[in-house]
């Protein structure tokens, strides 16, 4: 039985953690209707293999630790695994690599996540809580568009669905979403659904300080949030 969104936040706050773990962040946004690839938290290689079989192949493995920020730098991410045997072997090697690089890190487990279908266009949806204006939601295209051009738009909550549609149209790279050079147009309504879900999450959970869905993969039909990062406002020091 999955924990409720409020339960996820309250558990982290009770442990004085300012950042949700990967599986917690995915569960939180999923609880608000944001579509995500199938995922499970596994405690070891055998459990990871069983989870991958249930989710369906291919899968990605990511180490889950409150002490590791850049997982790839310590060998904490493995992609493109196609069989239970590959998963079990990769999980064993990954955990050994992580412990060798950061022996003091607390390892909660391994996130087993289904790989998103190819052909998705990367976009970003985020939320931030301004001390004066309150929650605001951001939308932008990912990849070089956000890294080089900072091509994003913002709305302060509350806003209506038509405002979310305007957010998408405002980015300079909107024409890419409409379809260019033989690429199909993307499902704008699915992106609007995610923007509205993020707004509701930020409105209903004042403890959420920052939220990033990056990337969200936009398809001709539907969209998937592959990664989620959630920062909470805690009473004590940052965890």
The Cα–Cα gap between 15 and 10 comes to 9
Q: What is the pLDDT along the chain (239 residues), one digit of tens a residue?
A: 678 999 999 999 999 999 999 999 999 999 999 999 999 999 999 999 999 999 999 999 999 999 998 899 999 999 999 999 999 999 999 999 999 999 999 999 999 999 999 999 999 999 999 999 999 999 998 876 677 678 899 999 999 999 999 999 999 889 999 998 888 999 999 999 999 999 999 999 999 999 999 999 999 999 999 999 999 998 754 44
pTM: 0.94
Long-range CB contact pairs, 173-176, < 8 A, 24+: 173/141, 173/145, 173/149, 176/121, 176/141, 176/145
Structural domains in the chain, CATH included, are 1-37+116-239 (3.30.470.20), 38-115 (3.30.1490.20)
């Amino acid at each position: 039985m999955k924990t409720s969104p409020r339960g996820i936040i309250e558990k982290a706050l009770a442990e004085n953690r300012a950042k949700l773990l990967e599986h917690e962040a995915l569960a939180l946004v999923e609880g608000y209707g944001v579509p995500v690839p199938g995922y499970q938290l596994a405690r070891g290689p055998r459990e990871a293999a069983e989870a991958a079989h249930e989710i369906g192949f291919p899968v990605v493995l990511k180490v889950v630790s409150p002490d590791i920020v850049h997982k790839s730098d310590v060998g904490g991410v493995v992609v493109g695994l196609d069989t239970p045997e590959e998963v079990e072997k990769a999980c064993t090697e990954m955990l050994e690599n992580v412990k060798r690089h950061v022996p003091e890190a607390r390892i909660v487990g391994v996130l087993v996540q289904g790989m998103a279908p190819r052909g998705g266009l990367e976009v970003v949806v985020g939320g931030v809580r301004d001390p004066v204006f309150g929650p605001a939601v951001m939308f932008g295209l990912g990849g070089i568009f956000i890294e080089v051009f900072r091509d994003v738009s913002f709305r302060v909550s509350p806003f209506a669905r038509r405002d979310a549609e305007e957010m998408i149209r405002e980015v300079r790279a909107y024409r890419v979403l409409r379809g260019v050079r033989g690429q199909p147009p993307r499902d704008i309504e699915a992106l609007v659904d995610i923007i509205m879900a993020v707004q509701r999450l930020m409105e209903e959970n004042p403890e959420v300080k920052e939220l990033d869905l990056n990337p969200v993969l936009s398809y001709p039909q539907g969209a998937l949030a592959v990664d989620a990062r959630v920062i909470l406002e805690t009473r004590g020091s940052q965890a």
